[in-house]
Amino acid sequence: MAEEYFYINNNMSARLEHMIGRMNSLEDFEKAYSSEFLDSDAHVGNYLQELLWKYNQKASVVSMNAMLTHSYVGNIVNGKKRNPSRDALISICLTIGTTVEEVQYLLKYAGQAPLYVRRKRDVIIWFGFMKQMSLDEVDEKLRARGFKPLIREQA
């Protein structure tokens, strides 16, 4: 379900990106594609829930394994946590075992910067997704190269 949703929406996003440059005015673009815009009440939890279903994961277990508070993922899913951090979303996706395409879409959907292959820290994270590394393995590589880990250091 999430994979189908992801590809349908990602294809539409690419189409919209292409079409925005071809329109004569913002008004023309809004008129032609307003049905494709996200609702103002749409939240990242909708897509995250689909990823949890796809990978047969429980929100509480993912929260724990991502070293977040026990209800963090559940609060995103139910809309109580509206602005999850970029690193938290990446940690969640590494814990779930998503593809790099899925994390990229989730980051964009959440209004966060997608992984960028020209940023050294992002390259390490991207590599981790491609090689299906654990969150701990990615953090180890980040620390070894002098970058901030995804998991917050425990005091």
The alpha carbon of 150 is separated from its chain's Cα centroid by a whole number of angstroms, namely: 14
CB 1 within 8 A of CB 53: yes
Label residue 120 exposed, middle or buried (CB < 10 Å: 0-12, 13-18, 19+).
exposed
**Residue carrying structure tokens 């209004």:** 111
DSSP label of 147: P
Alpha carbon of 97 to those of 33, 103, 128, 130, 146: distances in Å?
Answer: 33, 10, 10, 10, 25
pLDDT at 40: 53
Residue-by-residue pLDDT tens, the chain, 155 positions? 445 555 455 566 778 788 888 888 888 888 888 777 666 556 789 899 999 999 999 999 999 999 999 999 999 999 999 889 999 999 999 999 999 999 999 999 898 999 999 999 999 999 999 999 999 999 999 999 999 999 875 43
Whole-angstrom Cα distance, residue 137 to residue 133? Answer: 6
pLDDT at 155: 37
So what's the pLDDT on residue 87? 97
Nearest alpha-carbon partner for 22 in 8, 34, 32: 32
Cα 152 from chain centroid (whole Å): 18
Q: By the 8 A CB rule, do 51 and 106 touch?
A: yes
Dist. CA 2–CA 10, nearest whole Å: 12
Q: What was the pLDDT predicted at 41?
A: 53
**pTM for this prediction:** 0.80
In this structure, the chain runs to a length of 155
